Structure 1
Amino acid sequence: MRPIRFLPLLAMLWLAACSSAAPEQARSIPAVSLATITLAPQTLPLTRSWDGRIEAIDRATLAAQTSGRVAELPFDVGDVVEEGTVVVRFTAVEQQSGQRQAQAALAAARAAANDAAAHFRRIEDVHARGLVARADHDRAKAAHEAAQAQLAAARAGLKAADEQVGYTAIRAPYRGVVTARHVEAGETVSPGQALISGLSLDRLRLVVDLPQRVAATLDPQRPTYILSDDGRRIPASRVTLFPQADAASHTVSVRLDLPENETGLLPGMSAKALFAQQESAVLTVPATALAQRGEVESVYVLAPDGLIALRQVRSGRRLDDSVEILAGLVAGETIAVDAAAALQARRMQREKMAER
């Protein structure tokens, strides 16, 4: 922002080449104090905006991985769930029964494997002394290997049974909000059936569909912002340009990741993506210098003779605490910083001029 200077609106003398009546007219303009700035072009990046939609990066619908009856459904739509919390629990009678059977089968297989191993060691010792036939040694070895295979199968069966018991408690994969319940307590479900849906508000992104000619000129390394409805400019933490275009609409999708903090945005909301493309010289004025009357925008301009005049302008982009001016002003002109103060000064100036 250009430095603000306070100029007394004193009667200003024209150059010596001006007519002799000019100084008299200048002296007739009353002096007023007002904060002003002199306009100068600023080089700013040219941005273009496109409408998009906010969506959650982490969203999921949890499905059943085993059959059973819903025994517990502690959360409803809108509830916040911490990571690892049980969101659906089934009755586990059949699964626990299968787990006990698998444990018993493992114990039997372990005993059989120990017995076969001990028998094989005895046969192998006797065979080494030449007191047993080769066929008996081979049968003992085969029985030992078969017992070891059965033991491995029993261990795998117990692991599968443990997983089936674990499937009766559905846990949240991340911290999020419940968005839908697809079952109710008491219902019987089967594997693959949807149970509950949720999403995380900690990681959001804006998805924009750009025309392919625009996407071809997009540079993801340039500053990119998400513009909310209330005018906030949120810098994107990451920009992802899809490597293909939609065959029907001829558009290319772009994802803008929002920073992981409270932005006030929710999935499903609309927002704009601001893409910086190239730099251009523009005139800007402080937002406080703009006087709004209906749909007409104006600023207070100080003439070389100190007279305060109201001039209509056409504004463009809002840039933090300043506004781009597209038409109505030129570089080198002096304007008032505060439109409200300039209005009072202009009235005071007119009253003093009327008294004279």
Structure 2
Amino acid sequence: MIRSTRLALAALLLTALAGCGDKTSPQTAQQRAPSLPTVTVKSETAHREQVWDGVVEAVNEVTLTAQTNARVLELPHDVGDTVAKGDVLVRFTDVEQQSARRAAQAQIASARASLRNADAHYKRIAEIFSKGLIAQADLDQARMQRDAAQAALNAAQAQYSEAGQKVDYTVIRAPYAGIVTRRYVHVGEAVQAGPPSPQPLIGLESLNDLRVTVQVPQSAVEAIRRHQHAELLLGDGQRLAASKVIVFPYADPKTHTFNVRLELDGSHATLYPGMTVKVAFAVGDTKRLLVPMDALWHQGEMTGVYVLEGQDVRLLQVRVGERFGTRVEVVSGLTPNQRVVTDPAAAARYLSGERTEPKT
């Protein structure tokens, strides 16, 4: 009797221990399922690309030349300086030009006086002619004298305008905002307007309107013409799409390459004339898996993403490719329709808490 009682108690104890050994009930497991933000990755149709190096150029580039004979008085800006539209780049001595303008002004005053006399004389002759006291020839001569005086005044005014223009030529201003790229003269140097050709003074390039020129092999030209799409791969991982792709209709006979010009909308803070930049041309279609940049997990040289599979969170190592705005291409390590956790820090905290949770 006592032995039977002991066996019953032992059975009850084993049953209780078995119940304690059960990790979670279905309801508890459901409560412990991770609630992490995810995105389901899909295969997206995108351009297949080929990348070549291009050179950034300024659309507006000018070499300002001397338009009057003078001596350099001032050079306010040096190479590399940024200037605004209308800023003085070169100032010359203007003694001769001011003297010529004053002489032209005096010539205008003399011509006006001559015109007043000639006009008064013509009016007197015309009044006498109306009375029949003089011949037609006398009236015609007075009219020609008045017209000659008017022509002399017009010539004097034109000479004054030319002299004033030469005074304006003694101050060279920036035709647009840009950067000084060359300085061909020095203070105190005498310059000539020509002949045989005007003397160069200042080189200026605009930073507001830029374009990119790329040399591409002839094997890729037809695909580039067909797709008409190219993007600049900038240093910060961003992409800048070209507003227009122009393929030159002839090849370099020495290199057998074609020049392709990319026009850009406005300027970009990281682009400057003369620098090289990577350009990705669309040459076909392909499939890409894109994930948010914030979903990537980095540890040393390893890159991975956390994926949610049912109630399990796993860390997968991936290899990434080019960046597309706020997303990046996953080349390997991930398959379509997987749920990628967009907050890797939260996923790491979840896994850490799961490992350190004491067992009951």
> Normalized against structure 1, the TM-score is what?
0.75
- Is 1:318 equivalent to 2:356 in the alignment? no
Match of 1:20? Answer: none
Instruction: Tell me the equivalent position of 2:279.
Output: 273
Aligned to 1:126: 128
Question: Given the superposition, is the C-alpha separation of residues 187 and 287 from structure 1 closer, same or farther in structure 2, using an over 3 Å criterion?
Answer: same
- CA drift at 1:155: 1.2
What is the rounded CA distance, in whole Å, between the counterparts of 2:155 and 2:320 in structure 1? 77
SS of equivalent residue, structure 1 residue 330: coil
Q: In the aligned structure 2, how far is the partner of 1:315 from the partner of 1:176?
A: 39
The aligned residue for residue 187 of structure 2 is 185
1:95 aligns with 2:102: no
Moved more, 98-107 or 49-58: 49-58
Pair 1:98–1:42, CA change in 2 (3 A): same
Contact 2:180-2:205 within 8 A present in 1 as well: yes
| Structure 1 residue aligned with 2:140 | 138
Q: How far 1:343 moved relative to its partner?
A: 5.8
Task: Give the distance between the partners of 2:88 and 2:226, measured in 1 at CA.
Answer: 48
**Structure whose CA Rg is larger:** 2
Q: 1:215 aligns with which of 221, 224, 228?
A: 224
Percentage of pairs with the same residue: 38
Q: Secondary structure at the match of 2:132?
A: coil
Q: Which runs of 5+ in 2 are unaligned?
A: 1-21
TM-score normalised to structure 2 length: 0.74
What residue identity is the alignment partner of 1:257?
Answer: L
- Of 202, 206, 210, which residue of structure 2 is paired with 1:200? 206
Aligned to 2:46: 45
For the Cα contact (< 8 Å) 1:215–1:252, is it kept in 2?
no
| Aligned partner of 1:251 among 245, 252, 258 | 258
Of 300, 305, 329, the match for 2:334: 329
1:214 maps to a residue whose letter is A
Structure 1: gaps (5+ residues): 1-23
Give the Cα separation in 2 of the matches to 1:243 and 1:146: 58
Q: Structure 2: how far apart are the matches of 1:35 and 1:62?
A: 63
* SS of residue in 2 equivalent to 1:130: coil
Given that 1:287 and 1:322 are in contact with CA atoms closer than 8 Å, whether structure 2 keeps it comes out as yes
Q: Which amino acid aligns with 1:324?
A: E
Q: 1:286 aligns with which of 268, 276, 292?
A: 292
Letter of the 1:87 partner, please give it: L
- Residue type at the aligned position of 1:263: A
Greater shift, 133-142 or 93-102, is seen at 133-142
Match of 1:158 among 157, 160, 164: 160
* Counterpart AA for 1:186: G
**C-alpha RMSD of the superposition:** 3.5
The residue that corresponds to 1:17 in the other structure is none
Question: CA, structure 1 residues 126+247, in 2 after alignment: closer, same or farther (shift >3 Å)?
Answer: farther
Stretch deviating more after TM superposition (272-281 or 247-256): 272-281
Matches within 5 A, 1:17-28: none
1:126 CA displacement: 2.2
**CA distance in structure 1 between the partners assigned to 2:95 and 2:39 by the alignment:** 82
CA distance in 2, matches of 1:160, 1:334: 77
Question: What is the CA–CA distance in structure 2 between the aligned matches of 1:154 and 1:38, rounded to whole Å?
Answer: 81
Give the match's secondary structure for 1:158.
Answer: helix
Pairs aligned (count): 323
- Give distance in 1, aligned partners of 2:332 and 2:306: 14
Q: Summarize the alignment of residues 224-243 of structure 1 with structure 2, pairs less than 5 Å apart.
A: 225-236=231-242, 238-239=243-244, 241=246
Per the TM alignment, residue 139 of structure 1 is displaced from its structure 2 partner at its CA by 2.2
